Amino acid sequence: MLRETYFNPLHLLKVVISNRELLWQFTRRELINKYKGSYLGFFWSFITPLLMLGIYTFVFSVIFKAKWDFAVTDSKQEFAITLFCGMLIFGIFSECITRSSGLIVINSNYVKKVVFPLQILPVSLLIGALINFLVGVCILLAGQMIFFHEVPVTVIYLPIVIIPLIFSSLGLSYILSSLGVFLRDLEHSVSIIVQALYFLTPIFYPISAVPVELKPYLYANPLTGFVEDARRVVVWGLQPDWRIWCIYLAASLLILQLGYWWFMKTRKGFADVL
Protein backbone atom coordinates (compact mmCIF):
# COMPACT_ATOMS: atom_id res chain seq x y z
CA MET A 1 0.00 0.00 0.00
CA LEU A 2 1.34 3.43 -0.90
CA ARG A 3 1.98 5.68 2.05
CA GLU A 4 0.35 9.07 1.79
CA THR A 5 3.64 10.91 2.38
CA TYR A 6 5.14 9.13 -0.61
CA PHE A 7 2.27 9.66 -3.02
CA ASN A 8 0.89 12.99 -1.88
CA PRO A 9 1.30 15.49 -4.76
CA LEU A 10 1.83 18.31 -2.25
CA HIS A 11 4.48 16.54 -0.18
CA LEU A 12 7.37 17.43 -2.51
CA LEU A 13 6.20 21.04 -2.69
CA LYS A 14 6.15 21.27 1.12
CA VAL A 15 9.66 19.82 1.33
CA VAL A 16 10.97 22.32 -1.23
CA ILE A 17 9.37 25.30 0.51
CA SER A 18 10.49 24.27 3.98
CA ASN A 19 14.07 23.70 2.78
CA ARG A 20 14.29 26.59 0.33
CA GLU A 21 17.37 28.13 1.98
CA LEU A 22 19.22 24.82 1.97
CA LEU A 23 18.12 24.25 -1.61
CA TRP A 24 19.51 27.61 -2.69
CA GLN A 25 22.83 26.87 -0.94
CA PHE A 26 23.18 23.59 -2.82
CA THR A 27 22.29 25.23 -6.13
CA ARG A 28 24.76 28.04 -5.53
CA ARG A 29 27.47 25.57 -4.58
CA GLU A 30 26.74 23.56 -7.71
CA LEU A 31 27.12 26.60 -9.96
CA ILE A 32 30.33 27.71 -8.22
CA ASN A 33 31.93 24.26 -8.39
CA LYS A 34 31.04 23.92 -12.06
CA TYR A 35 33.31 26.82 -13.01
CA LYS A 36 35.73 26.68 -10.09
CA GLY A 37 39.34 27.28 -11.14
CA SER A 38 38.48 28.60 -14.60
CA TYR A 39 39.55 32.10 -15.63
CA LEU A 40 36.27 33.00 -17.32
CA GLY A 41 34.01 31.42 -14.70
CA PHE A 42 30.28 31.87 -15.34
CA PHE A 43 31.01 33.39 -18.76
CA TRP A 44 31.47 29.83 -20.03
CA SER A 45 27.67 29.60 -19.84
CA PHE A 46 27.61 32.14 -22.67
CA ILE A 47 30.70 31.04 -24.58
CA THR A 48 30.04 27.29 -24.79
CA PRO A 49 26.56 27.43 -26.37
CA LEU A 50 27.67 30.15 -28.81
CA LEU A 51 30.64 28.08 -29.97
CA MET A 52 28.50 24.96 -30.41
CA LEU A 53 25.84 27.01 -32.18
CA GLY A 54 28.37 28.27 -34.69
CA ILE A 55 29.65 24.76 -35.42
CA TYR A 56 26.19 23.19 -35.76
CA THR A 57 24.91 26.05 -37.92
CA PHE A 58 27.80 25.65 -40.34
CA VAL A 59 27.49 21.86 -40.55
CA PHE A 60 23.72 21.61 -40.95
CA SER A 61 22.88 24.80 -42.87
CA VAL A 62 25.92 25.03 -45.14
CA ILE A 63 27.00 21.41 -45.64
CA PHE A 64 23.69 19.55 -45.29
CA LYS A 65 21.57 22.57 -46.34
CA ALA A 66 18.69 21.81 -43.96
CA LYS A 67 15.68 24.17 -43.87
CA TRP A 68 12.98 24.59 -41.24
CA ASP A 69 9.33 23.96 -42.07
CA PHE A 70 8.07 27.35 -40.82
CA ALA A 71 11.13 29.38 -41.78
CA VAL A 72 10.36 32.85 -43.10
CA THR A 73 13.75 33.25 -44.79
CA ASP A 74 16.65 31.04 -45.84
CA SER A 75 19.13 33.11 -43.85
CA LYS A 76 21.79 31.51 -41.68
CA GLN A 77 20.67 33.77 -38.83
CA GLU A 78 17.16 32.33 -38.75
CA PHE A 79 18.55 28.82 -39.04
CA ALA A 80 20.90 29.46 -36.11
CA ILE A 81 18.18 30.88 -33.87
CA THR A 82 15.83 27.99 -34.64
CA LEU A 83 18.61 25.50 -33.98
CA PHE A 84 19.62 27.23 -30.75
CA CYS A 85 16.06 27.12 -29.45
CA GLY A 86 16.02 23.34 -29.82
CA MET A 87 19.41 23.03 -28.13
CA LEU A 88 18.19 25.01 -25.12
CA ILE A 89 15.12 22.84 -24.62
CA PHE A 90 17.13 19.63 -24.88
CA GLY A 91 19.73 21.11 -22.51
CA ILE A 92 17.28 21.08 -19.58
CA PHE A 93 16.54 17.40 -20.08
CA SER A 94 20.15 16.48 -20.83
CA GLU A 95 21.69 18.16 -17.80
CA CYS A 96 19.16 16.67 -15.38
CA ILE A 97 19.20 13.14 -16.77
CA THR A 98 22.93 12.81 -17.45
CA ARG A 99 23.98 13.82 -13.95
CA SER A 100 21.16 12.23 -11.97
CA SER A 101 22.51 8.67 -11.92
CA GLY A 102 25.57 9.69 -9.89
CA LEU A 103 23.90 12.37 -7.80
CA ILE A 104 23.41 10.40 -4.58
CA VAL A 105 26.77 8.65 -4.86
CA ILE A 106 28.57 11.99 -5.15
CA ASN A 107 26.69 13.30 -2.11
CA SER A 108 26.99 10.06 -0.12
CA ASN A 109 28.12 11.95 2.99
CA TYR A 110 24.54 13.23 3.38
CA VAL A 111 22.89 9.82 3.09
CA LYS A 112 23.40 8.72 6.69
CA LYS A 113 22.20 12.05 8.07
CA VAL A 114 18.65 11.14 9.05
CA VAL A 115 17.40 14.73 9.12
CA PHE A 116 18.87 15.69 5.75
CA PRO A 117 16.22 15.92 2.99
CA LEU A 118 17.88 13.97 0.16
CA GLN A 119 14.90 14.68 -2.08
CA ILE A 120 16.07 18.27 -2.61
CA LEU A 121 19.22 17.14 -4.47
CA PRO A 122 17.44 16.43 -7.80
CA VAL A 123 15.54 19.71 -7.40
CA SER A 124 18.84 21.53 -6.96
CA LEU A 125 20.13 19.89 -10.12
CA LEU A 126 17.02 21.01 -12.00
CA ILE A 127 17.31 24.61 -10.79
CA GLY A 128 20.91 24.72 -12.01
CA ALA A 129 19.78 23.48 -15.42
CA LEU A 130 17.02 26.12 -15.52
CA ILE A 131 19.50 28.89 -14.68
CA ASN A 132 21.65 27.83 -17.63
CA PHE A 133 18.49 27.71 -19.74
CA LEU A 134 17.60 31.28 -18.78
CA VAL A 135 21.09 32.43 -19.77
CA GLY A 136 20.59 30.75 -23.13
CA VAL A 137 17.16 32.33 -23.57
CA CYS A 138 18.68 35.78 -23.01
CA ILE A 139 21.22 35.04 -25.76
CA LEU A 140 18.43 33.78 -28.02
CA LEU A 141 16.22 36.83 -27.56
CA ALA A 142 19.19 39.16 -28.01
CA GLY A 143 19.98 37.40 -31.27
CA GLN A 144 16.43 37.85 -32.49
CA MET A 145 16.52 41.56 -31.70
CA ILE A 146 19.87 41.99 -33.46
CA PHE A 147 18.98 40.03 -36.60
CA PHE A 148 15.21 40.57 -36.92
CA HIS A 149 14.62 43.65 -34.71
CA GLU A 150 11.67 42.02 -32.93
CA VAL A 151 10.65 39.18 -30.62
CA PRO A 152 7.27 37.45 -31.13
CA VAL A 153 4.65 38.26 -28.50
CA THR A 154 4.03 34.52 -28.17
CA VAL A 155 7.35 34.21 -26.32
CA ILE A 156 5.31 34.75 -23.14
CA TYR A 157 4.09 31.17 -23.55
CA LEU A 158 7.60 29.73 -23.18
CA PRO A 159 7.42 29.24 -19.37
CA ILE A 160 4.12 27.38 -19.84
CA VAL A 161 5.49 25.27 -22.69
CA ILE A 162 8.41 23.96 -20.62
CA ILE A 163 6.36 23.05 -17.51
CA PRO A 164 5.78 19.43 -18.64
CA LEU A 165 9.48 19.16 -19.51
CA ILE A 166 10.42 20.37 -16.02
CA PHE A 167 8.09 17.92 -14.29
CA SER A 168 9.12 14.92 -16.38
CA SER A 169 12.85 15.73 -16.10
CA LEU A 170 12.55 15.96 -12.31
CA GLY A 171 10.58 12.71 -12.10
CA LEU A 172 13.16 10.86 -14.20
CA SER A 173 15.93 12.42 -12.09
CA TYR A 174 14.41 10.90 -8.96
CA ILE A 175 14.25 7.47 -10.59
CA LEU A 176 17.78 7.59 -12.01
CA SER A 177 19.37 9.04 -8.88
CA SER A 178 17.89 6.18 -6.89
CA LEU A 179 18.83 3.46 -9.37
CA GLY A 180 22.33 4.93 -9.68
CA VAL A 181 23.02 3.95 -6.07
CA PHE A 182 22.39 0.27 -6.79
CA LEU A 183 23.53 0.13 -10.44
CA ARG A 184 26.89 1.85 -10.84
CA ASP A 185 27.01 1.18 -14.60
CA LEU A 186 23.81 3.17 -15.08
CA GLU A 187 25.69 6.45 -15.53
CA HIS A 188 27.45 5.18 -18.65
CA SER A 189 24.24 3.76 -20.12
CA VAL A 190 22.34 6.99 -19.54
CA SER A 191 25.04 9.03 -21.29
CA ILE A 192 24.74 6.85 -24.38
CA ILE A 193 20.94 7.08 -24.39
CA VAL A 194 20.96 10.87 -23.98
CA GLN A 195 23.49 11.20 -26.81
CA ALA A 196 21.28 9.05 -29.03
CA LEU A 197 18.21 11.15 -28.16
CA TYR A 198 20.18 14.26 -29.09
CA PHE A 199 20.20 13.14 -32.71
CA LEU A 200 16.82 11.39 -32.65
CA THR A 201 15.13 14.65 -31.64
CA PRO A 202 14.54 17.20 -34.46
CA ILE A 203 17.04 19.70 -33.13
CA PHE A 204 19.26 19.99 -36.21
CA TYR A 205 16.75 19.07 -38.86
CA PRO A 206 13.02 19.63 -39.60
CA ILE A 207 10.51 16.81 -39.15
CA SER A 208 9.69 17.04 -42.86
CA ALA A 209 13.20 15.76 -43.64
CA VAL A 210 12.44 12.45 -41.92
CA PRO A 211 11.09 9.59 -44.11
CA VAL A 212 7.34 9.08 -43.72
CA GLU A 213 7.70 5.56 -42.35
CA LEU A 214 9.99 6.82 -39.55
CA LYS A 215 7.93 9.85 -38.47
CA PRO A 216 5.73 7.88 -36.00
CA TYR A 217 8.90 6.95 -34.09
CA LEU A 218 10.02 10.56 -34.07
CA TYR A 219 6.67 11.73 -32.68
CA ALA A 220 6.84 8.97 -30.07
CA ASN A 221 9.78 10.86 -28.61
CA PRO A 222 8.25 13.40 -26.17
CA LEU A 223 11.22 15.72 -26.64
CA THR A 224 10.04 16.28 -30.21
CA GLY A 225 6.89 17.99 -28.95
CA PHE A 226 8.78 20.12 -26.43
CA VAL A 227 11.27 21.32 -29.04
CA GLU A 228 8.62 22.04 -31.67
CA ASP A 229 6.35 23.94 -29.28
CA ALA A 230 9.24 26.06 -28.00
CA ARG A 231 10.11 27.02 -31.57
CA ARG A 232 6.50 27.81 -32.34
CA VAL A 233 6.23 30.38 -29.54
CA VAL A 234 9.79 31.79 -29.53
CA VAL A 235 10.83 31.81 -33.19
CA TRP A 236 7.76 31.53 -35.42
CA GLY A 237 5.20 33.50 -33.38
CA LEU A 238 2.65 30.66 -33.30
CA GLN A 239 0.45 29.28 -30.52
CA PRO A 240 1.54 26.07 -28.79
CA ASP A 241 -0.29 22.88 -29.68
CA TRP A 242 -2.47 22.98 -26.57
CA ARG A 243 -3.94 19.52 -27.10
CA ILE A 244 -0.53 17.88 -27.13
CA TRP A 245 0.60 20.14 -24.28
CA CYS A 246 -2.24 18.91 -22.05
CA ILE A 247 -1.34 15.29 -22.79
CA TYR A 248 2.31 15.97 -21.97
CA LEU A 249 1.34 17.79 -18.77
CA ALA A 250 -0.75 14.88 -17.51
CA ALA A 251 1.99 12.38 -18.39
CA SER A 252 4.73 14.52 -16.80
CA LEU A 253 2.79 14.87 -13.54
CA LEU A 254 2.43 11.09 -13.42
CA ILE A 255 6.15 10.62 -14.08
CA LEU A 256 7.03 13.15 -11.39
CA GLN A 257 4.79 11.53 -8.80
CA LEU A 258 5.94 7.99 -9.58
CA GLY A 259 9.58 9.10 -9.59
CA TYR A 260 9.24 10.83 -6.24
CA TRP A 261 7.42 7.86 -4.78
CA TRP A 262 10.15 5.47 -6.02
CA PHE A 263 12.89 7.68 -4.59
CA MET A 264 11.24 7.86 -1.16
CA LYS A 265 10.61 4.11 -1.11
CA THR A 266 14.19 3.18 -2.00
CA ARG A 267 16.11 5.81 -0.03
CA LYS A 268 16.07 3.54 3.04
CA GLY A 269 18.50 1.23 1.26
CA PHE A 270 20.97 3.93 0.22
CA ALA A 271 22.99 3.79 3.43
CA ASP A 272 23.40 0.00 3.21
CA VAL A 273 24.91 0.23 -0.27
CA LEU A 274 26.99 3.36 0.22
Instruction: Please report, in tens digits, the pLDDT of each residue of the chain (274 residues total).
Output: 444 456 676 888 888 999 999 999 888 887 777 666 656 556 666 777 777 777 777 766 666 566 666 655 567 778 888 888 999 999 999 999 999 999 999 888 888 776 788 999 999 999 999 998 998 898 889 888 888 888 999 999 999 999 999 999 999 999 999 999 999 889 889 999 999 999 899 998 888 888 888 888 888 898 999 999 999 999 889 999 899 999 999 999 999 999 999 999 998 889 888 7
Q: How far is CA 124 from the centre of its chain?
A: 13
CA gyration radius for the chain? 20
Name 244's Cβ contacts closer than 8 Å, sequence gap at least 6.
Answer: 225, 229
What pLDDT sits at residue 18?
Answer: 92
The pTM (predicted TM-score) of the whole model is 0.89
What pLDDT sits at residue 41?
Answer: 59
Distance CA 235, CA 232 (A): 6
What pLDDT sits at residue 156?
Answer: 96
What pLDDT sits at residue 1?
Answer: 41
Supply the DSSP string of 105-136, one letter for each residue: HHTGGGTT-TTS-TTHHHHHHHHHHHHHHHHH
Distance CA 114, CA 99 (A): 24
Helices 163-182 and 76-100: crossing angle, nearest 10°?
40
Burial class of residue 231 in the structure, from the number of CB atoms within 10 Å of its CB (0-12 exposed, 13-18 middle, 19+ buried): buried
Distance CA 73, CA 66 (A): 12
Burial class of residue 176 in the structure, from the number of CB atoms within 10 Å of its CB (0-12 exposed, 13-18 middle, 19+ buried): buried
Residue 132's Cβ-side half-sphere holds a number of Cα atoms within 13 Å equal to 28
Give SS3 for 73.
Answer: coil
Q: Residue 229 CB: number of other CB atoms within 10 A?
A: 26
